[in-house]
Structures are given as structure tokens and as C-alpha cells.
Structure 1
Amino acid sequence: MQSTLATNSPAVPTGLVRIIIVVTAISAAVMELIDVTIVNVALNEIAGALGATIEDVAWVVTSYAIANVIIIPMTGFLADYFGRKRYYVASIILFTIASYFCASSTSLWELVFWRFIQGMGGGALLSTSQGIIFDAFPPAKRGVASGIFGMGIILGPTLGPFLGGVIVENYHWSYIFYVNVPIGILATVLTMLYIAKKPGEGTRKSQIKIDYAGILLLAVGVGSLQYVLEKGQSDDWFESETILILTVTAIGGLGGFIWRQLTTAHPVVNLRVLGKGTLGVTTIFSFVAGLGLFTSVFVYPVLVQRINGFTPTMTGLSLLWPTLVGIPLFPIIGKRLSVGASPLPFIIVGMCTFVVFGFYSGTMNGQADQWDFFWPQMMRVFGVTMLQLPLINQAVAGLPPQDFPSAIALNNMIRQLGGAFGIALANTFVSRDYAQHRYDLVSNLDPSNPLLTERLNQLGGAGARAYKILDLAVDRQAYLLAYLDTFRLVGIFFLIILPLVYFLRTKKKSAQEIALAAKAMSEAH
């Protein structure tokens, strides 16, 4: 009965039905985003349980991001081919099943495999949820819809470490995945009952040609590149035959993908739109924004647990409080953008805030507590808030409405690719930087220095135990310096691209153009 009601419901739902639709779509999107970061606070526990190193366990994070990068640009195409509602339901089910098998994994690479499958299902949830929320509001209120969705965008990645911390401290690490199962089942049922099909949905299947070659080249290129970035440092880069082969494969795969998309009549990702409007430059900002968000949320939990002695719950709370303070900004920004405000000032403020965040975070020390980290984390939240919605709006600035779906898909893909690249870069950078800092620290341990002698005496004399304790202290300090340098590196990335805002300038939109853009943004998802 409810299913019939959903199918025959008006184009714009109202009342309780709208609330259910918004809650369902937000729950699915937040569930996907939570799983990007929920494992971050559990990396130590997963590594210990599965007998892996922290560096190898990073694949649990990056395999999910790689799957997102591959599937996100194809979301619009797949929704057209199968029908948006059918594709959305199938994605939730795939995500839920993969979550169960992630929790049941008994080896690292089994977990990495199911995380990849989970990412394939989750990749559709973000963009499609946004479109469903847009359709639940009339055009005049779609600024509010953007704000509501934006709150989920920032809440998800930050809520993940908090929930992960609580679960890891009180239960087994596998429950960070089991928790998705009941949510996924509920979201599936509510979607089938209350979310209506769009007019003509799923009727164009016979008219759509699948670019199998493009999909294969994208998967091979991105997968090979990510492996090179993740394992290059530990495998001594091009001294490894595997790294050498996969580097060539990555260049060939990505180069072939670009050539294929520019020459085929039915591309899976329309790269031609990169030459229109400001999209080409905007994707650079989206890449760095993704790098900044994912890298900072990946490095921070490892830093404070390994160096500052935070428990997983403390780590999650220290990320949660700044986020709750910053969330109310999203509806305000969404409302301003919906009435024609230029996204450029927001982008400039967000970029500058991330620069300050990177360098300020680089001043922390091993004795810093939760509240010492509050202000830098508050800056991170503020920076993400200033960038998220404005970059989506900037991506479609100057484009005709028919190009909106391709532009938004590309922008989302580049943001996720920036995140995957950032995590790989952080792992490599920390590894190299740690070795350099340790060498520098050890080279300054002069046996004739009375301060060193005094320190050894405090540790019980110049015996093996004292030297072991000193070695651990040097190790801890070297890791601390490496993590702080990683935050500074994030700030440097934002600083380098800041001058490019000059190329984001566009003419002011008329009221008619704003209305058309709002309608097209809804249809794009």
C-alpha cells in the first residue's frame, strides 16, 4: 500500500513523507561517509588482530576510497541505465552485505577486498542521496536542501571516529561494520516504500550504450596508481619490478581512459566539460580540498593515539565537538548560494583557513590534550564548511544545465581521488620523514654530553633497559615530528593553489539563471 502511495505521490512531497525521505537519504549518505573514517580510530586494533602493520592497514581506508573514485563518476550513467530508485536500492543492499563480510573477515586482504566492494556500493549513495533530497523540496527551498545535505557531508566523516572509538573501546572492532547492517536494512525498506521514481526513470536502458573499455581503463589506472603511491616507499620505488610495472600500467590506463573519453561518442565520464566554464580549475581546488579533509582526518587519530595517549573514544570526541559547533554554518551558506551569492569569497576564506589549520596543527606537542587540539580542529571544520557547497556551485558556474550532471560527477570524483591520494601521500611522507627525524635525533645523542649522562642515570644507569627507554622516546619524538610535518604539508598544498582563485571569477547570475541552475542541480543528481 505504501509503495503505491510513493509511486503516485506528488512531484514535491510534503509533511511526514518529506521528513521520512530526507531522513532516509541523509542516513544512507551519512552511513557511507561514516565508513570513510570510522576505521581510522580502529587501525591499531585491526592491525593487532589481523597481524598487520599500520602502513598495510591503511589499505582498509584506501581500498574504500579507490572504489569510490571509480564508481562516483559513473553514478549518473548507472542511474540512467537502471533507473535511479532501482540503482539506489541495489547500492544500499550491496553496501550492507559488504559491511557484514567486512566484519566477518579473518585476514587483512579479505577485509581490504570487502572494503572495496563496500566502496562500490557506497559510491552511489552520496550523489544519489543529494538528488533525492533536492527533489523533496520546491525550487525556492533548495538552498535549505543544500544546507541539510551539507551538514551530513561534514558530520559523517567526523562522526565516524567518535562512533568507532566508542565501539572499539567497548566491543570488538568488527562491530564498526556490523552497525551498518540494521541501518542498511531500514534504509532499503524506507526507500522502497517512500521514495518515488522520477518520470521516465529506467525507460532509456535500450538507448544507452555502455563504455566497457572506459570503465576498465579507469579501474586499472586508478587501482595501479594507488598501489604505487601506497607501496612505493616500502618497496624502494623503482627498484621494485612490481612498482615499475604498475607505474607503466597506471600511466597507460589513465592515459587510455582520457583518450577514450575524449574520442568515444558515448563516454562513461564526459571529460569534455573540463574545458567549459571554470570546471577545469575548480577540480584542482576540489582535489586539494579532498586531500586536506581525508589526510587530516586520517593522520590526526593516529597521531593522538600513538603519541598523545588518547583513547579511541577521546579521539572521536575531540573530532566531534568542533564539528557540532561548525555544522550550523551549512544552512546559512546554502541559503546564500541559493539566492545568487558568489561562491568565490567562501572558497577564498576556506582555503586561507586550511592554510592556517595546517601550520597551526604543526605546532602541537606530545603533551597536548583534547582542548589544545580543539581550535585547530575547529579551523578544519570551518575550512571544510566554507569549501564544500561553494565548490559544487563553482563547478557548474558558466555551464549550460545539460552539462551539470557530468560536471558534478567529475567534481565529486576528483574530491575522492584527492582524498585517496592524500592518505597514500601521508603514509609515504610520514615513513620518510620519520626516518630522517630519527636519524637527526640519534646523531645528536653525544655520549660525552653531561645532559645525556644525567638522563641515563635518571633511567637507572647506562644499561640495556635505560637505552631501550631512550630509544622508545626518540622513536616517539621522531613520529611526532613526522605527523606535525604532514599537517604543514597539507597547509602548503592549499597555499600553493590559492593564487588560482583568480581564474574562478565568473559574471554574476541573473534571477532566471539562478532558478534554472537550481532546477538543473536537482536533475543532475
Structure 2
Amino acid sequence: MEEGSLVEYGSRRVIVTITAVVCALLQIIDTTIVNIALPTMQGSLGASLTEITWVITAYAIANVIVMPLTSWLGQQFGRRNYFAASIIIFTISSWLCGNAISITELIIFRFIQGIGGGALLVTAQTIITESYPPEKRAMAQAIYVLGVIVGPTLGPPLGGYITDNYSWPYIFYINIPVGVIAALLTLQFIRSPKYDEKVPVSNVDWLGIFLLIVAVGSLQFILEKGQEDDWFNSSLITTLSVVCFFGFYFFIWRELVYKHPVVELRVLRNKNLSIGSILSFVLGFGLFGSTFIIPLYTQTIMGWTAFQAGMLMIPSTVFTAIMMPFVGKWMERGVSFRLLIVSGMGIFFVYSMMAYHILTPSTGSDAFFWILVIRGIGLGLLSIPITTMSLSTLKGKEIGQGAALSGMLRQLGGSFGVALISTYLTRDNQAHRADLVSKLSVNSANVQQRVYELSSGFQSRGIAPNIAKKSALALMDRMVDVQATILSYMDVFLWIGIMFLVCIPFVILFVRESKNKIDIAHAMQE
């Protein structure tokens, strides 16, 4: 083994990989597992709807703030120590969340849990990448990406099962044994790189840290609460938008001119990383957006339970997992990033168009099955090439810095996706309803016939004629609501598909053909 190398072999590599993947899974699952238990927690803690949603928002804000700091914090404290400390913080705060007796306590403990969890995903990717030799890193990314894809899918059904069969604190308690084992394995097997150097306290970029917290925290709050507060009609959202803009402006300026930046933005000069980070944002938008919209549709329109809606996503995850080793092998043999990413985006476009065409109030799980299989294949072709390309030409501490930036952008892409889809659904639903209602004239023979048929149905059950007519009109109103909602979901799938289609020329123009074998040989010589 080359001196200073972090490459592992044999059983050590297996243990390091499993530890890192499990930690990444813990972080991702906890972003979605809580969603299903919100109504139960709301009743148990006597919280309002606005208060209980902060359980999600606090965790997300802490995650996004910590992610870009992970590389710097790893250098300050040593990667192994920082990773172990993050696992311990995550585990202890999980126990505190389960024991919270008020909504205020739960929100505080979720924020602390997010601080610990924010490091797990990014550091896990760095550890896995550096534990494999260059010629095996495509397969290493396949293993990592599998955890990223599986996490959002496992969260809702797992949360639903635990909430239905036990009680909501257990969605936090299940983290404890896993966290304890992961912390012990980290201290025993994870190694810190030799290039880690501490920055003296007097030279720490405190202003950069402050600006990052203000900018990213404001942005995440806007994305989480914008729809609820009607966006720029809210003075708070408007004020935070101004703060966010100037926070990012001065943060970028500070990091580019300061000698010891807390986030090394100069690493984005690497073309593969900069393009990969943009594509990571798009991937996060599509991954979290589609993971959000399908369960929401099946619960809102079809009346499924959250557990049933979560289980529906399993085929997509299974086929993504099936694709992983194939894509990893193709990349090892020199298949280009560009070809794989373009293929993945094309398949994701096909998936979106198929979903657009099959949505009805009676669409069954059989109709969704093949659509989700295609989604899984598309994600498999997209995820590994994007994550591998982002880090492929980075060396030493640049790998951690690049992983932090691409991880943050993937997370922000998911937040943008959920926020924009939620807003679009609300606004588009109102537009479709107004359009449908405008076509329901009381003088229309078809409308009169439909009202008569529905009224007759109610009267056949012994309901008085005047009440039957009112019931018929109310039922028609609900039918209009359902139809407007379906049209809105169709539009969302259409626009998601168009977004991926539009990205294909960008990939063709800016993603270079990978010469993996040549790059690997060069890296091995170094």
C-alpha cells in the first residue's frame, strides 16, 4: 500500500464501505421517515400544523448548512474523529427526539440531529471514494449512490409501519443501535488523511461561516415555508430573500479572497466538478421531486395509505439497484459519462411522459409498475456517472471539498423541486378548476342531464328531491376538484420531463467524452 494512501483492501474495505453506506442511509431515511408520523406527533404533542412542520424544516436547514462545511471540519478535527462525532451527535439527538415532551423540544433536538446528519452523507461519499483505487471508483460510486436512492424510498413505508404498529418515538429510536455500531466501527476502521491540516483559531474564517449560515439558512427556510406563506406576499419571505441574496454575494466574495476559506470555492474551477454539481442539482430535483409527487398523488387522489404509497416506489429502487453493477462495469470499461447521462435523461423523459398519460382517478398499481421500473433504470444511468464525473479528476483534500459542494447542490435541488412542485400544484389546480367551472353552464343540456342522473341516484336512496339536487351539485363540485388536481399532476410530470429533455443538449455540449482507462492509468502512475 502506498504511504499516505487511504485505499483499503479485503475485509477492511468491506467494513469501511458498509459503515459509510449505513451512515448515509441513516441521514437520508431520516429526511423522509418523519413525514408520515407528523399527524400522530401533532396530536401527541398538541402542536399546530405550522409548528409540526418545523420538525422537518429544522432538520433540513441544519443539513444544508453543515454540508458545505464538512470538508473544513474534517480537516480541523480529523476526518475519523469528525465522522464519529457526527454519528454520536446524530444518535444522541435521535434518543432526545424520541423523548421530547413538547414541540419546542422536538424542533430543537431535530435541528441538532440535522447538524450531526449533515456530515454523514458527504463524508460517507468521500470515505468510499478514497477507499477504492481509481480504477474501481465507478463501482464505489455505484455502492454509494444505491444508498442515496434507497433512502428516500424506504422512509415513508418504514415510518408508516412503525407508526401503525408501535408509536412515533420509535422512528427515532431505531437509529440508536445502528448509530452505536457505526460509531465503534468508524473509530476502529476509518482513517484520516495525512493532508488534513488545522487552521489556527486566529485564522478561522468566522465571517465566512456566519455568512454561510445566514445565506443557506435563509434559502432553506424560503423553500420550506414559501408556499405556506404565499411567497413574496409575505414580508418575512421578502426580507429573507434579500438577506439570502446579499448573504450569498458576500459569502462568495469572502471565500474567493480569504487565505483560509471555510468552503474552498476555487475547487469549482475543475470543469468536471462544476458541470457535475449542476447536474447533481438537476438530479436532486428529479429524484426528490418524483419521490415526493407520486406518493402524494396516490394518497390525495386514490386514497392510499402512506405505507401503500411508499411501497409503490419499491420497484423503482429495485431496478436502480439492478442497474448499479452494470453501469459501474460499463464505466470501468471506458463507456463515456456523456453517453450514460444522455441515455439516463432520455429515459427519465420517457418515464415522465408515460406518467403524464396514465393518470386517472382509477389508475392502479399495475399501471405504475412499469413506469417506475423505467424511472429506476433512468436513475441508475444518471446517478453513478454524475457522482463519478464530479470527483473523477480531483485529488487529495479536493475530493472532500468537491463532495461537499455537489452534495449540497443535490440537496438544494431536492428542496427546490419539492418547493416548486408544491407551489405549481396549488396555482395550477386553481387555474384548471376555474377553466373547468367556466365550461359547466347551467343551461348546458349535458350538465342538466348529469345533475338529473346524480339526483335520481340520491333519490333512489330515499333522499328528498331538493336535498338530492344539492347533493348532486356538491358531488359534481368534488368531481371538478379531482379532475383539476389530476390535470395539475399531469402538468408537473410534463414539465419535469421537459426539464430533463432540455438538459440533454447541455450535456452533449459541455460533458466531455470520458477516457476512463487513460485517466486511471495516469492516476495509478501518480
Same fold (TM over 0.5): yes
Q: 1:285 aligns with which of 268, 279, 283?
A: 279
Q: TM-score, normalising length from structure 2? A: 0.86
Q: 2:481 aligns with which of 456, 475, 479?
A: 475
Tell me which residue corresponds to 2:338: 344
Q: Quick one: structure 1 residues 281 and 140, their matched pair in 2 at CA, closer, same or farther if it must change by over 3 Å?
A: closer
Tell me which residue corresponds to 1:455: 454
The answer to which of 411-420 and 223-232 deviates more is 223-232
1:70 Cα deviation from its structure 2 partner: 1.9
Tell me which residue corresponds to 2:205: 211
Tell me which residue corresponds to 2:150: 155
For the pair 1:220 / 2:214, whether they are aligned, the reply is: yes
Tell me which residue corresponds to 2:462: none
Q: RMSD in angstroms over aligned alpha carbons? A: 3.2
Query: Is 1:353–1:380's contact at 8 Å kept on the other side of the alignment?
Result: yes
Q: Quick one: structure 1 residues 453 and 275, their matched pair in 2 at CA, closer, same or farther if it must change by over 3 Å?
A: farther
Q: 1:29 aligns with which of 24, 30, 34?
A: 24
1:402 Cα deviation from its structure 2 partner: 6.3
- Secondary structure, in 3 states, of the residue corresponding to 2:313? helix
Listed one character per residue, the Cα deviations across residues 333-354 of structure 1 (whole Å, up to 9, x for unaligned) are 2233234432111110111122
For the pair 1:491 / 2:497, whether they are aligned, the reply is: yes
1:78 Cα deviation from its structure 2 partner: 0.8
For the pair 1:186 / 2:181, whether they are aligned, the reply is: yes
Query: Is 2:315–2:376's contact at 8 Å kept on the other side of the alignment?
Result: no
For the pair 1:101 / 2:101, whether they are aligned, the reply is: no
Larger Rg: 2
1:327 Cα deviation from its structure 2 partner: 0.4
1:83 Cα deviation from its structure 2 partner: 0.5
Q: Quick one: structure 1 residues 58 and 284, their matched pair in 2 at CA, closer, same or farther if it must change by over 3 Å?
A: farther
Q: TM-score, normalising length from structure 1? A: 0.87
Query: Is 1:41–1:302's contact at 8 Å kept on the other side of the alignment?
Result: no
Query: Is 1:277–1:397's contact at 8 Å kept on the other side of the alignment?
Result: no
Provide the rounded CA distance (Å) in 1 between the counterparts of 2:339 and 2:352: 20
Provide the rounded CA distance (Å) in 2 between the counterparts of 1:488 and 1:430: 12
Provide the rounded CA distance (Å) in 1 between the counterparts of 2:144 and 2:43: 36
Q: Quick one: structure 1 residues 37 and 233, their matched pair in 2 at CA, closer, same or farther if it must change by over 3 Å?
A: closer
Tell me which residue corresponds to 1:504: 510
Q: Quick one: structure 1 residues 235 and 313, their matched pair in 2 at CA, closer, same or farther if it must change by over 3 Å?
A: closer
Provide the rounded CA distance (Å) in 2 between the counterparts of 1:295 and 1:144: 26
Listed one character per residue, the Cα deviations across residues 238-278 of structure 1 (whole Å, up to 9, x for unaligned) are 33322221121111111111221222222222222334424
1:153 Cα deviation from its structure 2 partner: 2.1
Tell me which residue corresponds to 2:258: 264
Tell me which residue corresponds to 2:369: 374
Structure 2: gaps spanning 5 or more residues? 460-464
Q: Quick one: structure 1 residues 507 and 142, their matched pair in 2 at CA, closer, same or farther if it must change by over 3 Å?
A: closer
Q: Quick one: structure 1 residues 458 and 518, their matched pair in 2 at CA, closer, same or farther if it must change by over 3 Å?
A: farther
The answer to which of 452-461 and 358-367 deviates more is 452-461
Query: Is 1:226–1:424's contact at 8 Å kept on the other side of the alignment?
Result: no
- Secondary structure, in 3 states, of the residue corresponding to 1:385? helix
Q: 1:82 aligns with which of 77, 86, 98?
A: 77
The answer to which of 31-40 and 96-105 deviates more is 96-105
Amino acid at match of 2:519: E
1:514 Cα deviation from its structure 2 partner: 1.7
Q: Percent identity?
A: 42
1:208 Cα deviation from its structure 2 partner: 9.4
Q: Quick one: structure 1 residues 36 and 407, their matched pair in 2 at CA, closer, same or farther if it must change by over 3 Å?
A: same
Provide the rounded CA distance (Å) in 1 between the counterparts of 2:294 and 2:490: 9
Provide the rounded CA distance (Å) in 2 between the counterparts of 1:422 and 1:510: 32
Provide the rounded CA distance (Å) in 2 between the counterparts of 1:419 and 1:138: 31
Listed one character per residue, the Cα deviations across residues 100-147 of structure 1 (whole Å, up to 9, x for unaligned) are 333344566654443333222112112322333345445554443333
Q: In the TM superposition, what are the counterparts of 1:334-413 in structure 2 within 5 Å?
A: 334-363=328-357, 364-396=359-391, 403-413=398-408
Provide the rounded CA distance (Å) in 2 between the counterparts of 1:52 and 1:440: 37
Provide the rounded CA distance (Å) in 1 between the counterparts of 2:496 and 2:314: 21
Q: Quick one: structure 1 residues 354 and 26, their matched pair in 2 at CA, closer, same or farther if it must change by over 3 Å?
A: same
Amino acid at match of 1:502: I
Provide the rounded CA distance (Å) in 2 between the counterparts of 1:483 and 1:51: 33
Query: Is 2:319–2:377's contact at 8 Å kept on the other side of the alignment?
Result: no
Provide the rounded CA distance (Å) in 2 between the counterparts of 1:338 and 1:140: 7
